[in-house]
Structure 1
């Protein structure tokens, strides 16, 4: 399936900087994830898959930790750090545990829609199903906490060819379903527009610790070396996403890494520490209503290196 749908994509202009004029940015994300009835996480602590059609109750129990303990521990640490995070929320958790969504909103954190459930992947849905999934997820989150999300990240960052257009039509401002760049871009679908904010996977508990078996300390090391490398690249604008899952590093063995990384980032004087919706609003403000007047639009998949410096 090609993702080259009918739209123009405007890349970041030369010399682009993050809000406040910073060259470097660090965003803190939390994945608060749930699964539909009868479904379980594809990754679990045991690793070995069960026969097809068998619900992995071990992985399901592991995944349920996020709503029971993990999200509360994370919110407590964020409050201690005086740090706001961008938190991905599945609609099913707004349905089952609305009190957790209210606590997230009350803490001043950004709520990012993360599909109805982790097993509801946009790439597996037809256009009607995907439109219904976006509406269902959005409505459940808004009903739980009174805040309508304006940002979306699909499960496993796997959109369909229609996702961007459908999100823009539904009133979303940004989405993060891309690994294809370092900097934001603006996708225009007729009269609708959507900011694409790339996701970085290097400092993420699930691949580092669960998939590849590294100790939690590795996450701190990767963050420190990545940030140091970006600081040396004085001509480039860069960003690091720090992501933990409520059911993974929301546990005592992993949560300390989030706190350690936050303290490192907060000690850097010239790094933007903020939320993704702030990046989206800032980026969109760079363009006039006719974005092509401010920067040269290019088709999806065509990239201008000059836009990265």
Structure 2
């Protein structure tokens, strides 16, 4: 993509004295990544670690990823509901075709549906503008029709939008997206008279890099959370946000779901943090600054 004519947005970042509702300084978001790949595609990573030769379909990785739609999503949603937590659930459009009832149920329970592209293999940075617009519009319509609720947030697969993704989302009326990593709090991006909140998808407490990339056991994620949570609350004085992210095909398994459960329990015992969805955070930021 030619970058010569791409104008950057105006950025309004949160000041150090900004506070979340109730004067709280720390916000926690629970994300669930409900992911799938297009027909004929498999994840580039899997539980075996070593990749196959080019040109061969990885049946092992494909079956591993399919666990999320069969079992993982139901286990993680059940945990969130047990704690009374509303999660931000990233949903690929292709899942609306494979399991519309579950997508409908997630929205019916009050969880946020976040547009997550058609499939995990459809990454905006690979698309030209026409194809990116088509992908956004196709998934928006499908998620809205299936869930009964129009999504207001977007996160690209791999968190990798194109150079124009933010603008396209703002023009489409989206309130927030998670394709940014350059802050430890959300900020407002202005494209003319359109505003959208960039909410970093923080990776500190995320099962995919913890368990798959770095090969740590689920308990390690709980330890990371404890260290982060303590540092955020005891060693910082500025407004912060902390994502707790579980993928349905990774920590949606009994061996790891207990960590998601335990983190929700510990956050619920802390009276000084704001637990919210990404949509709630975006609305609050837009109404405040």
Shorter-normalised TM-score: what interval? over 0.9
Contact 2:16 2:238 in 1 (8 A): no
- Confirm or deny: 8 A CA contact 1:5 1:162 kept in the other structure: no
Match of 2:76 in 1: 74
Count how many residue pairs are aligned between Structure 1 and Structure 2. 287
SS in 2 for 1:45: coil
- Asked whether the 8 Å contact 1:5–1:161 carries over to 2, the reply is no
Helix, strand or coil: the match of 1:272?
A: strand
What is the SS of the residue equivalent to 2:245? strand
Q: Does residue 131 of the first structure (1) align with residue 130 of the second (2)?
A: no
1:84 to partner: Cα distance: 1.1
Match of 1:11 in 2: 13
Answer with 19-28 or 246-255: which moved more: 19-28
SS at match of 2:60: helix
Contact 1:65 1:246 in 2 (8 A): yes
Counterparts of residues 153-232 of structure 1 (less than 5 Å): 153-232=155-234
Asked if 1 retains the 8 angstrom alpha-carbon contact of 2:88 and 2:278, the reply is yes
Question: What is the RMSD of the two structures over their aligned residues, measured on CA atoms?
Answer: 1.4
Q: Report the CA distance between 1:106 and its aligned residue.
A: 1.2
Contact 1:105 1:111 in 2 (8 A): yes
Give distance in 2, aligned partners of 1:5 and 1:25: 31
How does the TM-score come out when normalised to structure 1? Answer: 0.90
Alignment-derived partner of residue 111 in structure 1: 113
Q: For 1:68, what is the secondary structure of its paired residue?
A: helix
> Hey, what's the Cα distance between the residues in 1 that align with 2:201 and 2:88?
12
Find the residue that maps to 1:47 and give its secondary structure.
coil
Aligned residue number for residue 99 of structure 1: 101
Measure, in 1, the Cα distance between the counterparts of 2:94 and 2:52.
24
SS of the residue aligned with 2:49? coil
Which digits, 9 at most, give the CA deviation of each residue in 1:117-157, with x for residues without a partner?
Answer: 00000000000000000001111111111111000011011
Checking the alignment, whether the CA contact within 8 Å between 2:124 and 2:132 is kept in structure 1 is: yes
Instruction: Report how far residue 21 of structure 1 moved.
Output: 2.2
| Matching residue of 2:34 | 32
Q: Secondary structure at the match of 1:62?
A: helix
Q: Which residue of 2 aligns with 1:265?
A: 267
Structure 2, unpaired ranges of 5+ = none
1:282 and 2:284 aligned: yes
Gap regions ≥5 residues in structure 1: 288-309
